[in-house]
Structure formats: structure tokens, C-alpha cells
Amino acid sequence: MINPLTPIKAKTQLAALKVLLKVVTPPRPLVILGESSSIKLCNNISMLGAKRILIVTDAVLYQLGVTSPIEAELEGKGIKCSVFSAVTPDPTLSVVTQGLQALSRFDADAVLAIGGGSSIDAAKVIACAAANNTKPENLFGVFKAKEHSLPLFVIPTTAGTGSEVTMGAVISDDESHQKSLIIDPKIVPLAVALDPIIMKGMPPSITADTGLDALTHAVEAWVSDMASEESDRYAFASIQMVFKYLLTAYQDGENLEAREAMGLASHYAGLAINKAGIGYVHAIAHQLGALYGISHGRSNAIVLPHVLDFNNKASSKRLAKLAQALNIVDSNAGVEVACNAFISRTKKLINELNVDMSVPNIDRKDFDKIADSAFTEAHGIYAVPKYMSRREAKLILHAIKNTAKIA
């Protein structure tokens, strides 16, 4: 059984966090939406007076020339650019430190992230560490920054993390691969371009993984004990759009309506978790990513169905409300039927997206470590609807080990 002190301590810390979040409202970036909005963002950067900007991205996007038109547009406005393209999936502390050094050498006065969640998270930490004249690791934790980040702008190339609007970032340890969280309103960007033209280059598998990341954010915010009318509004909008548009974006990457909608779905989910937080799906998924090198979106997709089943009774009324609002069931369906229908609909979407649910190298010897690390991450920060014991966590990990396709 779970130690009875764990939920008591966690709830005490969460109560303090709730008070803090009521006092500190996360800022929201300016959002520029639509085709070629990434070019329009350059006007905003120019108007805000940036003179030297560090572009943070990964090697693949840089080699594909994704950053080139943005560089040309900025340089045409008299803004000097330098590209830091060493961001890796699940960026490590050393990568962020290298980025901070690159910013210092170039004497940048602003930062632009072009990429997925990894590039955005890295850019957030680089910009904040620079403004605070501190090492990135000194920002790990909750509300550690004293000064706001350098002016930070974002062009997401994927639709899933919502990192362009959240006050969180995740950085991995180089040796242990354990992930450290930074939660601080001072890392939220100034402006973001949700450009479907940029996003249409995503291959189907990444479209699926990142889209399910957005769904996980929204669902975990919806069932959170910190859910509010505001977070519900954003979470529901996100879930509704994911169910309507993700499969289309997966099947037809050139469909700009679906790409734009998924960009918004990701953004809305980010707004939801700013208020309500995430839960055990992320806590466990982070450990799978750290130990086995699975992408964040894929890890969430793998864990989500199992945690939905675990939370079934605790979240039944909330999930039933979703099923009815989304017309998955009719309005007179009972709570249990409606709840199960939502979970089944989620599993169906995962199957339709052909997500590989297997973790071939998962080792039973790691189960205790995964559970302990997940609980260390979640308890006291994530307002989970039901606390999980180590035994229950290990049962979920056992199910993951034996699942290639979700039933």
C-alpha cells in the first residue's frame, strides 16, 4: 500500500501551490495565427527592438533549411542572427549550457526558438538563465528565477507540447537522464507564430505522437484536482479539436486547416495545464523517455490508456461529462457507460494513428526505480485525482511491457 503520509504531504504542498497560482497569473504570449504567421512574427521581433537574436533549433531542421527564410526576413530588417542548432530530443543540461555560451559569445539580446518541444524548452531555459546571469540548473524547481527572460519568441514546428505558452520546461541530466522540471512564469515567451505552413513538414508518426501529447495535456488538466472553469474551457477546446482534426492531419499532412487546428489544440492544452497541471501519465512517461530513449509524445501515448483505466472510478464523472459534451454517447447515458466510452474512444484514436505501444527494452528490474522517480516528480506538484501505490505503478508498467497494441 502507498505510504499514507505521501498524499497528506502532497496535498499540503498542492494547497500552497494553488494559493501561489491564484496570486501569480501566468502571462500569455501574443499569438499570431495562420499561413506565413512565422514571417509576420519577424515584424513583431523588429518592432520590439531586438538587434541580435539567437535562433535555437535542432540539426535536422537547420539542415533542411527550415530556419533560412526566417533568418533572411530578420536580417532584412537589420537584425543579426546566429543559429544554435545543437538541441537534441529531451535536451540535456550540457546542451542548454552550450546554448547559453553561444548566446553569450554572440551577445544576443533576444532568443527565437524554431522547433518542437525540445528546442522550445531549451530556448526558454537559455533565455531565462542569461537574464538571471545564472547556471541553468539553478532554475530547476518552482519559481526560482528573479528576473524575466530575455525577449523570447517561438515558432513551433510540431503541434503537441504547447511549450510556447506554458510556464514549464524539462531538462535531462547528461548521465542519469533523469528529467528536472522548471516551473516559472518568467520563462513564458513574448510572442508565438502558429504557422501551418511550418507544421506541414511533420511526418505522420511525429504528427501522431505530438498530437497525442496535446491530448494527454488536455485530459490530465481536465481530471486534475486543480481544474477550474478557465482550465476546463481550454482543455475541452483542445480535446474537441484533437478528436476532430488529428487523424486528418496524420492522413493528409498538406491539409492546412487540420494543421492549424492541431496547432491551436496544442496551444489550448498548454493554457489548460498552466492552470491545472498534469499527472501520472507525464510522471511515468518522463521516466520511460529517460531510461529508454522514447520520445515524449510517444511515451505519453503509451502510458495514457493505462492511467485512464487506473483513474476510471476517481475521474468517472469528469470523463463522462467529456463523453457527453463530445457526443460520444447520448445525454442520457449513465456515468459508468459514458466514462468507459470516452476511454474507448481515446484508445480507438491511438489505434487509428498506428502508434507502436511497445517498449521492447523495458526491464522489470527498473520498475521500482521508475515508480519512485515518477512519484518524486508528481507528488506535491501534480494534482492527481487518485494517488497511486508502488504496486499499482508496477502493474501499469507490467501492462506496458506486454502491450504492442492497445485493446
Residue 60: HSE in the Cβ half-sphere, 13 Å Cα cutoff? 9
* Residue 324 and residue 215 share a domain: yes
78: left (phi over 0), alpha (psi -120 to 50) or beta: left
* Residue 385 and residue 249 share a domain: yes
pLDDT digits (tens, 9 = 90+) for 333-361: 999 999 999 999 999 999 999 999 999 88
**pLDDT over 50 at 1, yes or no:** no
How far is residue 73's CA from residue 384's CA, in Å, rounded to a whole number?
Answer: 45
pTM to 2 decimal places: 0.94
Residue with cell 489544440: 265
The CATH number given to whatever domain includes residue 324 is 1.20.1090.10
Question: What are 140's three cell numbers?
Answer: 530547476
pLDDT at 3: 52
Instruction: Determine what percent of the chain is predicted with pLDDT higher than 70.
Output: 98
| DSSP letters spanning 158-199 | SSS--TTT-SEEEEE-TTT--EEEEE-GGG--SEEEE-HHHH
Amino acid identity of residue 379, one-letter, is H
* Residue 77 and residue 37 share a domain: yes
pLDDT digits (tens, 9 = 90+) for 187-212: 999 999 999 999 998 999 999 999 99
Q: Is 358 helix (H, G, I), strand (E, B) or coil?
A: coil
Q: 187: domain range?
A: 26-200
pLDDT at 357: 94
Is there a domain that residue 21 lies in? no
Question: What are 354's three cell numbers?
Answer: 498506428
DSSP strand E in 257-368: where? none
pLDDT digits (tens, 9 = 90+) for 359-375: 988 999 999 999 999 99
CB 29 within 8 A of CB 190: yes
**pLDDT over 70 at 407, yes or no:** no
pLDDT digits (tens, 9 = 90+) for 107-118: 999 999 999 999
Higher model confidence: residue 103 or residue 405?
103
Count up the domains in the chain and report the number: 2
* Residue 261 and residue 184 share a domain: no
The CATH number given to whatever domain includes residue 93 is 3.40.50.1970
Q: How confident is the model at residue 132 (pLDDT cuts 50, 70, 90)?
A: very high
Provide the β-strand partners of residue 354.
Answer: none
* Residue 184 and residue 215 share a domain: no
Question: What are 126's three cell numbers?
Answer: 537559455
**Mean pLDDT of the residues in the chain:** 94
CB 13 within 8 A of CB 44: no
Is there a domain that residue 42 lies in? yes
Domain boundary among 200, 235, 270: 200
* Residue 391 and residue 351 share a domain: yes
Higher model confidence: residue 12 or residue 135?
135
Q: Residue 278: which of 262, 294, 300, 293 has the closest Cα?
A: 300
* Residue 195 and residue 174 share a domain: yes
Q: What is the dihedral of CA 122, 126, 129, 135, to 10 degrees?
A: 70
- The 10 Å CB-count burial string (b at 16+, else e) for 357-382 is bebeebeeebbeebbebbbebbbbbb
What Cα–Cα distance (Å) separates residue 267 from each residue in 186, 271, 364? Answer: 18, 6, 36
Domain boundary among 182, 200, 218: 200
Domain boundary among 143, 167, 200: 200
CB 245 within 8 A of CB 208: no
Strand 110-115 relative to strand 191-194, pairing: unpaired
Is there a domain that residue 385 lies in? yes
Q: How confident is the model at residue 4 (pLDDT cuts 50, 70, 90)?
A: very low
